[in-house]
């Protein structure tokens, strides 16, 4: 997994390089927008981590120019700006995710893992949470090593929860990952699927946060 890191703060960049390399990423570092664009011409990375406050040009301009030639390149914005407008304009210009400084290293790694899975060049297509192992390539779920049969919707629901282990998924966000636009959704559809999933999984694997949604505890 090759990452292009665009960050003008040398100390921060050095720390990131070290941390990311330890976690098995190949990282190239440039310190300004022009160098980033130049580097993209010769070599396309798998993921780009872009700081918005660059010395030579605005990070959002870099993003706009990158998008012309590389519409599918996953871009993670790293920034000290955090107002709502900054977030919205960053995501509007085609950033895939947004991380506000100062961030936790595990948080950055988690976001990169999501990218990794999305572009499915990950060495492993398995997501392991506790005793449950979900294989996104084979569409299989193993509970305590035993293969369990799930319906398509149940599998998608479990995948959405496990991919975001440690985070709450609201009913609305689960509905949107299970059903396409315009599809009729019964008001208690998610509850019914969760109920069925629980019967097949280890007890308390899926936790309810009343009034908010469901979560799978990260281990």
Q: Which residues bind other proteins (CB under 8 A)?
A: 9, 11-12, 15-16, 18-19, 22, 53, 80, 82-84, 101-105, 166-171, 187-188, 190-191, 208-215, 217-218
Among residues 84 and 147, whose Cβ is nearest to other proteins?
84
In the numeric block, which tokens belong to residue 212? 């908010």
* Whole-angstrom distance, CA of residue 101 vs CA of residue 162: 26
Among residues 119 and 212, whose Cβ is nearest to other proteins?
212
- Name every residue whose Cβ is closer than 8 Å to that of residue 117 and which is 6 or more positions away in sequence: 125, 127, 136, 163
Q: How far is the CB of 59 from other proteins (least distance, A)?
A: 13
Q: How far is the CB of 172 from other proteins (least distance, A)?
A: 8
Q: How far is the CB of 14 from other proteins (least distance, A)?
A: 8
Among residues 73 and 108, whose Cβ is nearest to other proteins?
108
Let me know: does 36 contact 4? Beta carbons within 8 Å.
yes
Q: How far is the CB of 17 from other proteins (least distance, A)?
A: 10
Query: Coil, helix or strand for 146?
Result: strand
Among residues 26 and 125, whose Cβ is nearest to other proteins?
26
Among residues 8 and 126, whose Cβ is nearest to other proteins?
8
Q: How far is the CB of 16 from other proteins (least distance, A)?
A: 6
* Integer Rg of the chain from CA: 20
């Amino acid at each position: 997994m090759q990452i292009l890191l665009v960050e003008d703060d040398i100390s921060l960049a050095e720390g990131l390089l070290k941390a990311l390399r330890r976690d098995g990423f190949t990282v190239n570092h440039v310190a300004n927008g022009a160098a980033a664009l130049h580097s993209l011409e010769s070599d396309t990375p798998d993921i780009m981590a872009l700081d918005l406050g660059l010395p030579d040009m605005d990070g959002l301009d870099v993003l706009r120019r990158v998008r012309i030639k590389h519409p599918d390149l996953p871009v993670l914005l790293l920034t000290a700006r955090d107002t709502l407008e900054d977030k919205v304009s960053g995501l509007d210009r085609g950033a895939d995710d947004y991380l506000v400084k100062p961030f936790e290293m595990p948080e950055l790694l988690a976001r990169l893992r999501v990218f990794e899975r999305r572009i499915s060049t990950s060495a492993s297509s398995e997501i392991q949470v506790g005793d449950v192992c979900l294989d996104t390539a084979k569409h299989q779920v193993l509970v305590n090593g035993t293969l369990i049969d799930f319906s398509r919707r149940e599998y998608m629901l479990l995948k959405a929860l496990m991919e975001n282990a440690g985070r709450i998924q609201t009913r609305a966000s689960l509905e949107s990952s299970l059903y396409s636009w315009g599809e009729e959704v019964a008001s208690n559809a998610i509850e019914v699927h969760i109920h069925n999933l629980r019967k097949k999984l280890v007890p308390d694997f899926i936790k309810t946060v009343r009034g908010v949604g469901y979560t799978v505890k990260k281990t």
